[in-house]
Amino acid sequence: MPLTRFAPEHYADLLQVKANKMQALFAPFGAPPLEVHSSPPEAYRMRAEFRLWHEGDDLYYAMFDPQHPKTPLRVTEFPIASTTIQAAMPELLRRLKAEPALRRKLFQVEFLSSLSGQLLISLIYRRPLAEDWLEQAQGLAGELGVQLVGRSRKQKIVVDKDYIEEQLELQNQTWHYRHYEQGFTQPNARVNIKMIEWACAVAAESAGDLLELYCGNGNFTLPLCRHFDRVLATEVAKSSMAAARYNQQWNRVENLELVRLSAEEVCQALAGERQFRRLRELHKPLQDFNFSAVFVDPPRAGLDAATERLVCDFDQILYISCNPHTLRTNLEHICQSHTLQRLALFDQFPYTDHVECGAYLRRREESENEPAKPG
């Protein structure tokens, strides 16, 4: 994100521009009034990464303009980052400059923070890490009060822990999450809370069972379990599934079944095309679930054709998207059988063109008119 676009005094106007574009994008589907959920204008980003640039004795954080990819831009402050990251950045740089074992061949640093104030720092090197690095890294982690990970090619050294823990206050309940280094987490925690609350409000009057695809570490899954009899959630990434299992146990959610399957494999299993050994671990057979709703949070490419057909088999569809254009493409098929009931914009990425959005659809009754095809 170009730092020159950071303009808190214009945040409300910039958000309105996004909202106008999104409302127009979905107007052909008879979209209801857009629900707009804003971000804090500053200190909202819980993750950040920088190149470490060496110039003689000098060392500084750097970013690059895509138009000039070989020219480093010195970063002296980063006001969109969480206050935890902002406080750590100068202290980390001071220690790195003073310790040759920590500085040598260091080319990247990654920060992962939580609302609870925890911080994990990953230092990425172009050299193998030895005992002198570990000794200095332990001192650094202790002085800064952070978790620290060192990485180089085919090497990972963890100083104490490679994760942080988060607490989110949702629906008058505290939910606990473990976020692993290099695992996916929502970058804007305050907006993430609004996204989860919106999804739970949509699901509040639901009944039966829920199928969730792309569940990640259980970010939406765990609070949604309060609104359904049983939830079957799937995810293909091993690290995310491990985090989801831990988070389920930590939050004592008992009506949730977690299975490591891709969306494609779920389609095959529900169609009876393939049998998977992992499904034998379920407490009841897949065909005995009473699915009334499906929740999807796919990657930027959206739903593939098979998954698109699958979700149309459900009475209710809850779709979180990080790309409104692929969501619109999916809706061209989905809205042939379903009606768009609610549409929301979540401003995860202020001062950029990126938009996170949510759509809630219900199966159209036979008596309802056929929808107009979007132009």
Of 262, 341, 351, nearest in space to 10 by CA: 351
Residue with tokens 């003689």: 56
10 Å CB burial of residue 57 (0-12, 13-18, 19+) is: exposed
Catalytic annotation on 143? no
Residues in the chain: 375
Pair of tokens at residue 14: 């910039």
Residue with tokens 């107007």: 27
d(CA 221, CA 223): 6
Q: Which of 212, 267, 356, 357 is catalytic?
A: 356
**Alpha helices in 145-220, H assignment, sequence order:** 189-203
Residue 82's contacts (CB-CB under 8 Å, 6 or more residues apart) are: 43, 44, 45, 46, 113, 115, 189
Pair of tokens at residue 178: 């473990």
Catalytic annotation on 225? no
**Cβ density class 115-150: b for 16+ within 10 Å, e for less:** beebbbbbbbbeeebeeebeebbeebbeebebbbbb
Q: Which of 215, 267, 322, 335 is catalytic?
A: 322
Q: Which residues are catalytic?
A: 322, 356
